[in-house]
Amino acid sequence: MPQIDRLQILLYGLEPALAAELVEFLNNHDVMVMPDVDTGMCSDQIARRGVKLVFCDSTSECRASALAASRLQRLPVVVTSRLPEVTDWLDALEAGAADYCAAPFDSRQINWIIDSSMHGAYVTAAA
Mind listing the pLDDT tens digit for each residue in 22-37?
Answer: 998 888 877 888 876 6
Please give the pLDDT value at position 125: 44
Burial of 16 (0-12, 13-18, 19+ CB in 10 A): exposed
pLDDT at 120 over 70: no
For the entire predicted model, the pTM comes to 0.82
- Calculate helix-pair angle for 86-95, 60-71, nearest 10 degrees: 30
| Maximum C-alpha span of the chain | 48
pLDDT of 9 higher than 70: yes
pLDDT for 97 beyond 50? yes
Q: Quickly state the pLDDT bin for 3 (edges 50, 70, 90).
A: very low
How many CB atoms lie under 10 A from the CB of residue 65? 20
